[in-house]
Amino acid sequence: MDAPRTLFEKIWSRHRVLEREDGQTLLYVGRHLLHDGGATAFDVLRRRGLKPWAPERIFATPDHYVSTAGRRVEEIEDPRHREMVEKLARNTAEHGIRRFGLGDPNQGIVHVVGPETGLSQPGLLMVCGDSHTSTHGALGALAFGIGSTEVAHVLATQTLWQRKPRTMRITVEGRLGPQVTGKDVILAIIARIGAAGATGHAIEYAGSAIRSLSMEGRLTLCNMSIEAGGRAGMVAPDETTYAYLEGRPYSPRGADWEAAVTRWRELPSDAGAAFDTEVTLDGDAIQPMVTWGNSPEDALPIDGAIPDPETAPDAERRAQMRRMLDYMGLAPGTRLTDIAIDRAFIGSCTNSRIEDLRAAAAVAAGRKVAPGVTAWVVPGSEPVKRQAEAEGLHEVFRAAGFAWREPGCSMCLGTNGDIAAPGERVASTSNRNFVGRQGPGARTHLLSPAMAAAAAVTGRFTDVRRLLEG
C-alpha cells in the first residue's frame, strides 16, 4: 500500500511536471489570477518577446487601484492609479485573458473573486502575484503568492520552479463561542506561533473547530496564513466546500460536477499522514481578538490590557515593544476596551464577504456610529455588494452612519488613495497592522467585522458579546 499522504502532497505531486536532482521542481499552474498591481510582469514579457502560454488559465480583475467612490475608470483621480487599471485592461485584452473589469458583474478583490466565481477549486494549484493568495486554500487548493518575476515566468510557461516546503498541521478542536470567528481563530494562532511561526511551511488547518467554520470563515483563516509566515494555508474539502461551490459560474456542471466531487473526495490527508510540524489549539478558549502592535502576532483577547515592555522576555523584544507602543500611541496597562478609535474599516480580502457584512450589519442595526468616528464598509466584490443590497444591509449601514462604498482593496493598503490621516486609530478588518500600512502614521488594530462594527458604534474597542447582550 502507498504511504499515507497529506492534502498538500497530493496536490503538489499532481502538478509536478518534473523534478531536478537538486530537488527543484517544475510545477504546473492550474489557475493564475492577476490584479492591477501586476503590470511589471507584462513589461518583462514584452522585453523578452514572450506571450502567455495558456491564456485560458488566467483570470484578472482590478482591485488595488480602483476608486471605491465610483465605478468609472475616469473617476480615478490620480493618473498613476488610473494607468494601473488601464494597463491591466490593455495587457489582458492584448493576450486574450478574461478580465472582470470595472463595471463587470464579477469585479472585486482578486481573493474574493476567485472563490466566488468558482475559479478556485479543490485540488488545484493556484498562484497570484500577491501574498494573500493563500486565501484560496480554504477550498482545498494549494495556492500561494509569488513575486512579479515569477508571475512573468508563469505567464510565459504556465509553470513555476519551486522547492517543496515543509508541512504544518494546525489543529483546533472544540466549539467556538458566540462571536468567535475565523478572524479570531487565525489571530489566536498567530499570537501563539508568531509572525514567522510557519515560515517555510504549507499549513493545513484541521480539527472540529475548523470544520465548523463556514466557507467565509475558512477563507478568512487561510487568508492570513502568510501573516504567520506560511506560504500556503489549506482546509481539506468537505460538504461545506461542495455546497459553496455548486452552481458557481466556473464550477463544473452536470456530469462534470459529479466527477469532480468524486475526485475531490480523494483529497483530504490520509489517516496517519505525517506533518513536519504539529500545532494544536483549544477552540473553546479562543476569545474575540484585537491587535495592539505592528505585527499580527501582537494580538490579545478583548478583555486584555496593553502589555508592559518591562515584562518582555529579552532586550530585543523590549525595544520592539517600546517602538510599537510609541508608534501606536498606547501606554502599558491600558485596557483594550478603554482605547478610543477614529475610524472603522470593514473590508479587504480578509473580511469583506457576505457573511462578514451580515455580522457587522447585525451590530450596526438600530445603532449609530459614535460621534467623531468615520466608518466605512467596502464590499469585497460586485456579487457581495449586490447580495448585501438585496438583503438591505446597505440601508442598515447607512442608517447607522457608515459609508457604503464600491468594491476594491481600499483602506487595507491605501494604494488607491483611501488612507487614514497620521495618528488616526483604525479598527480594521484587514490583515496587516504594519507601520504605515493604512497611511503614514496611521494606527491599525485588526479585528473581526462584528468587533469593528462594535468599535464604530461605541467609539472604542468593545466586546461585541456584551454589546449584543445589551
Partner 1 sequence: MEAFRQFDAVAVPLPQPNIDTDRIIPARFLSRPREVDHAQFLFHDARRLPEGGQDPDFPLNRPAWQPARIIVAGRNFACGSSRESAVWALFDAGFRCAIAPSFGDIFRNNGTKNGLLPVVLPAEAVDAIMAMLEAGPGARIAVDLPAQTVTAPDGTVHGFEIDPFAKHCLLEGLDDFGLTAGYEEEIAAFERRYGRENRL
Interacting residues with partner 1 between 4 and 23 (CB under 8 A):
14-15, 17-18, 20, 22-23
Alpha-carbon distances, residue 208 vs 27, 264, 285, 316 (angstroms): 32, 20, 14, 37
Among 61, 158, 348, 458, binds ligand SF4 (CB under 6 A): 348
Question: What radius of gyration do the chain's Cα atoms show?
Answer: 21
Q: Which one-letter amino acid corresponds to residue 79?
A: P
Among 218, 437, 443, 445, binds partner 1 (CB under 8 A): 437
Instruction: Report if residue 378 touches ligand SF4, rule: CB under 6 A.
Output: no
Residue 112 contacts which entry, ligand SF4, partner 1, none (Cβ below 5-8 A, type-dependent): none
CB 289 within 8 A of CB 300: yes
Residue 37 contacts which entry, partner 1, ligand SF4, none (Cβ below 5-8 A, type-dependent): partner 1
CB 187 within 8 A of CB 299: yes
CB 135 within 8 A of CB 223: yes
Residue 348 contacts which entry, partner 1, ligand SF4, none (Cβ below 5-8 A, type-dependent): ligand SF4
- Residues 155-174, interacting with ligand SF4 (CB under 6 A): none
Residue 195 contacts which entry, ligand SF4, partner 1, none (Cβ below 5-8 A, type-dependent): partner 1
Instruction: Report if residue 111 touches partner 1, rule: CB under 8 A.
Output: no
Residue 114 contacts which entry, ligand SF4, partner 1, none (Cβ below 5-8 A, type-dependent): none
E strand or H helix that includes residue 228: none
Nearer to partner 1 (CB atom), residue 84 or residue 455: 84
Half-sphere exposure of 181 (CA within 13 A, CB side): 27
Nearer to ligand SF4 (CB atom), residue 268 or residue 347: 347
Instruction: Report if residue 231 touches ligand SF4, rule: CB under 6 A.
Output: no
Nearer to partner 1 (CB atom), residue 79 or residue 272: 79
Q: How far apart are CA 170 and CA 278, in angstroms?
A: 6
Among 9, 63, 116, 130, binds partner 1 (CB under 8 A): 130
Q: Which residues are within 8 A (CB) of 239 and not within 5 positions of it... i.e. 6 or more apart?
A: none
- Residues 301-360, interacting with partner 1 (CB under 8 A): 316-317, 319-320, 323
Residue 40 contacts which entry, partner 1, ligand SF4, none (Cβ below 5-8 A, type-dependent): partner 1
- Cα distance from N-terminal residue to C-terminal residue, the chain: 59
Give the relative orientation of helices 354-364 and 382-390 as an angle to the nearest 10 degrees. 40
| Adjacent-strand bridge partners of 279 | 170
CB atoms within 10 A of CB 256: 10
Q: Which three cell numbers stand for residue 370?
A: 459614535
The contact set with ligand SF4 (CB under 6 A) reads 63-64, 109, 111, 130, 132, 348-349, 409, 412-413, 430-431
